[in-house]
Chains A and B, each alone.
Chain A
Amino acid sequence: MKALLDDKPGKQMMLLGNEAIVRGALEAGIGHGSTYPGTPSSEIGNTLENIAKDYGMYFEYSANEKVAMEVAAAAAASGVRSMAWMKHVGVNVAADALMTLMYCGVRAGMVIVAAGDPSVHSSQNEQDNRYYSVLGSIPMLEPTSPHEAKEMVKYAFDLSEELELPVMVRTTTRVNHARGIVTFGDIKEPAPKGHFEKDPGRFVAVPQNARKNHPRLLKQFGKAKPISQGSRFTEEFEVDDPELHVIGSGAGFNYIYELREIYGLPISILKLGMTNPFPEEKVGEFIKGADRLLVVEELEPFLEDKVLSLAKKYNPSLEVYGKHTGHFSRLFEYDPDVVRKAVSKLIDVPAGGEPLDADEYELPSRPPSLCPGCPHRATYYAVKKALGKTEAVFSSDIGCYTLGVQDPLNTADFLLCMGGSVGAAGGFSKNTDQQVFAFLGDSTFFHSGLPALVSGVYNQHDFVYVVMDNRTTAMTGHQPHPGTGRTGMGDPAPMLSIEDLARGAGVEFVETVNPYEIEKTIDVFKRAIEHPGISVVVTKYPCVLLEKKKLSNPPYHVDQGKCKKCYLCVNQLGCIALVKEGDDVDIDTTLCIGCSHCAQVCPFDAIEPGVEE
């Protein structure tokens, strides 16, 4: 994506929302970027990884979102424009730093991109992060498209500097992962290194300073109010004699605007781009002459509640429709159907295309699953073999290995959040007599699995702590982490050893094994189960998506003459390359990568390397 560095104002490119966000930062002269990857924000980092050096800025993958927030805060306090970005739940991790950072404020512009995931496409919840803006008095912008995301990020740096406060750009999946035409502006030189001018009264948040900083925050945030009233991202689309007034923001706005434009509906729309502070007078003027108002926003009634309270002052007889009236749901993302249905309850909307009335079939579900040849599958198989008939609680974590929740593996019983497997495993071990496993990945280990390990050793928890080390941050697109020996800038880095860190934390049982050596792996797990206290097992094998390029193993095939139709391979591995055709088991050679796992577990040696002769 070197084309993002082109200094060609007016140039148009098809960009992913996340690439547009990067371009916006480059046009603002960013000097520092930091993140921990998470869908739907990950491609911001993936893009910067390739261009940060050429542009001349500093970029890092921090161990977790809190660290990403803190390093960016220090950059901005030192006069370097900085950006920290993360998925919505990543803000939970960073919130401790963020809430107090708002008290201290910044010197150079600092932008926080908080990427939400309505409909939970690739997350553990769909929390509405707009409430963080209220909790922290954080000025907030909500883009509707990739181009607007670029413009807002660029502007957010200026706004942040003007207010001396971090500014949040809150996106959602349909902005981050939408691709649209983006028009380039001027590119700016990256911010050079700064100098931290000491001011302990402001930057040291001891109670006496916090008491002074809180009013400072309120004062600075107050300055954002007139800015929000006149924001250039607020747009009004008026008609004469509207039958309905609409207030919309974010991705939800797109669908109501589309409906209005396609059918020429008599709707006046106020699109809000800066939603914190809430532009009261602007909205007040808009609702003054309205009879009926529909609020279009995904997830929580964030704007709707504000409009309701505002209506008491500006227009007490206004009828406000939205989530409280059942026109919209607080659940999931919107789409053209959802918005059409809500609007149709209030005004006449011409019918759209009539969906085909085709026969109903029970179509098979296609949940995501571990890739063919994924080493996690081999680890899970070995754990279950080691346990035999012993019941165990599998405390899981955030990553590809969460897919162990699927049949036939069933190796995820409890999952909350990043690093959560470890604390929960300790809780199960102290409060039940069940055997307990924690499964987490290498990147997750560094993210938040490490402090929980320390806590577990100290409190003498008793479980098997399995680090499924595939040498990368796989699920989000193979970002490096402290164990990979490479930085976000592409430079060599110290390769931190998970084993050494575990030993340093006082764990006595630390073993590393290649999960494809199945018998050996089963044996390690058997001993780990027997060992009292926390036993750490690192199952180490690179992510097959990375290895595939290097591997040239031939695919395997089933010798139907030897196969006794026991279906052990199909029933215990759940590999999508193993296909049941009638009574036979076949191997899909376009999917099989020759990992040998099924051949090793077949009791009749019926699975052989190479394509069938």
Chain B
Amino acid sequence: MNLEIVGVGGQGILLASKVLGGAALDKGLDVWMSEVHGMAQRGGVVVTTVKIGEKVYSPLIGHGDADVILGFEPVETYRAIKKASKDTWIVTNTAPIVPFTVSSGKQGYPKLDDIFESIQNVSDKFVMIDAKELAEQAGAAIAQNIVMLGALTATGALPLTKEDMQDSIRNNVPERFVEVNLRAFELGFKNARSQM
């Protein structure tokens, strides 16, 4: 199972990938991930790869070889599109984070409807999640990453059950945030399921 998680530094991608990896480890599966640390974390593009299976051989994914693209930000989802084939689930957060190259007027940010339509034109496995709204409903805007994990789980692409993921949230998230994150996970899961 090849998963590419993309987004922007500071969105909680590292924690999301830890929850995933932890669930896979508990299930006795092999896991190999690749993370971004250092300079790129300062508001730059963050790409995390998670590969799970009976045996995993490398930490990176080739073009067209992702099983899931989990995009925490719409433009970053689109930037990763070449990793996807028609068999790939593409799950994206619809809430944009505008880079300063755009806010300063130097570059343009494409219209969201355009890029969503472009994905719909080539993929039948496209799920759109307003993670910001759902996280706020759950009680913490910061829980967008776990909303996305709920949506990811709903695709059924993972070799992991909903319960495996919920257990891993309990194991990897600080205790006082577990409840709100489990609510966020459930909202993401339900919202994605309703689109399938």
Say yes or no: A357 contacts B122, CB within 8 Å.
Answer: yes
Interface size on A, residues (CB 8 A): 66
Say yes or no: B32 contacts A356, CB within 8 Å.
Answer: no
Say yes or no: A365 contacts B107, CB within 8 Å.
Answer: yes
Chain A binding surface SS class: loop
Of residues A39, A178, A353, A359, which shows the largest number of chain B Cβ atoms within 10 Å of its Cβ? A353
Instruction: Give the nearest-CB partner of A570 in chain B.
Output: B104
Which residues in A have their C-beta under 8 angstroms from that of B114?
359, 361
Instruction: Give the nearest-CB partner of B115 in chain A.
Output: A361
In the complex, A299 has a CB within 8 A of chain B: no
Segment at the interface with B among A24-32, A65-73, A368-376, A521-529 = A368-376
Say yes or no: B84 contacts A366, CB within 8 Å.
Answer: no
Say yes or no: A177 contacts B25, CB within 8 Å.
Answer: no
Segment at the interface with A among B62-70, B148-156, B184-192 = B62-70
In the complex, B33 has a CB within 8 A of chain A: yes
Say yes or no: A174 contacts B60, CB within 8 Å.
Answer: yes
Say yes or no: A261 contacts B65, CB within 8 Å.
Answer: no
Chain B, 86-139, CB within 8 A of any chain A CB = 86-88, 98-110, 114-115, 118-119, 121-123
Say yes or no: B33 contacts A407, CB within 8 Å.
Answer: no
Cα distance A174–B47 in the bound complex, in angstroms: 13
CB-defined interface of A97-135 with B at 8 Å, one 1/0 digit per residue? 000000000000000000000000110000000000000
Which residues in B have their C-beta under 8 angstroms from that of A354?
64, 85-86
Say yes or no: B110 contacts A335, CB within 8 Å.
Answer: no
Say yes or no: B119 contacts A40, CB within 8 Å.
Answer: no
Cα distance A254–B58 in the bound complex, in angstroms: 5
Q: Which listed residue, B37, B56, B100, B115, touches A42 by the CB 8 Å rule?
A: B37
- With A261-B57, A355-B84 given, is the CB distance from A400 to B42 under 8 Å? yes
In the complex, A336 has a CB within 8 A of chain B: yes
Cα distance A588–B40 in the bound complex, in angstroms: 21
Q: Which listed residue, B57, B100, B123, touches A356 by the CB 8 Å rule?
A: B123
Say yes or no: B105 contacts A14, CB within 8 Å.
Answer: no
In the complex, B71 has a CB within 8 A of chain A: no
- With A178-B33, A365-B101 given, is the CB distance from A407 to B59 under 8 Å? no
Which residues in B have their C-beta under 8 angstroms from that of A40?
37-38
| A262 to B: closest C-beta gap in Å | 8
Instruction: Give the nearest-CB partner of A400 in chain B.
Output: B42
Say yes or no: A39 contacts B38, CB within 8 Å.
Answer: yes
Say yes or no: A574 contacts B85, CB within 8 Å.
Answer: no
- With A361-B115, A366-B43 given, is the CB distance from A353 to B38 under 8 Å? no
- With A358-B81, A361-B110, A580-B105 given, is the CB distance from A39 to B39 under 8 Å? yes
Which residues in B have their C-beta under 8 angstroms from that of A371?
42-43
Chain A, 551-596, CB within 8 A of any chain B CB = 567, 570-571, 574-576, 578-580, 588, 590
| A3 to B: closest C-beta gap in Å | 12
Which residues in B have their C-beta under 8 angstroms from that of A251?
58-59
Cα distance A591–B105 in the bound complex, in angstroms: 19
| A48 to B: closest C-beta gap in Å | 16
Q: Which listed residue, A177, A574, A576, A590, touches B37 by the CB 8 Å rule?
A: A177
Which residues in A have their C-beta under 8 angstroms from that of B18?
14, 179
In the complex, B35 has a CB within 8 A of chain A: yes
Say yes or no: A355 contacts B101, CB within 8 Å.
Answer: no
Cα distance A597–B79 in the bound complex, in angstroms: 33
In the complex, B36 has a CB within 8 A of chain A: yes
CB-defined interface of A395-417 with B at 8 Å, one 1/0 digit per residue? 00000100100111000000000
* The 8 A-B residue pairs with the shortest CB-CB distance in the complex, in nearest-first order: A353-B64, A122-B38, A39-B38, A258-B57, A336-B62, A353-B85, A368-B44, A254-B58
| Other A-B pairs, 18, CB within 8 Å; known A336-B65, A574-B104 | A12-B25, A40-B38, A177-B34, A178-B32, A179-B31, A181-B30, A261-B57, A262-B57, A336-B60, A352-B64, A354-B64, A355-B63, A357-B122, A366-B99, A367-B44, A368-B43, A403-B39, A578-B103
A to B CB contacts below 8 Å, 11 in the list: A122-B37, A179-B18, A355-B82, A357-B122, A358-B122, A362-B107, A366-B75, A368-B42, A407-B101, A576-B103, A578-B103
Chain A residues proximal to chain B, CB less than 8 Å: 12-14, 16, 39-40, 42-43, 121-122, 145, 174, 177-181, 251, 254-255, 257-258, 261-262, 335-337, 340, 352-359, 361-371, 400, 403, 406-408, 475-477, 567, 570-571, 574-576, 578-580, 588, 590
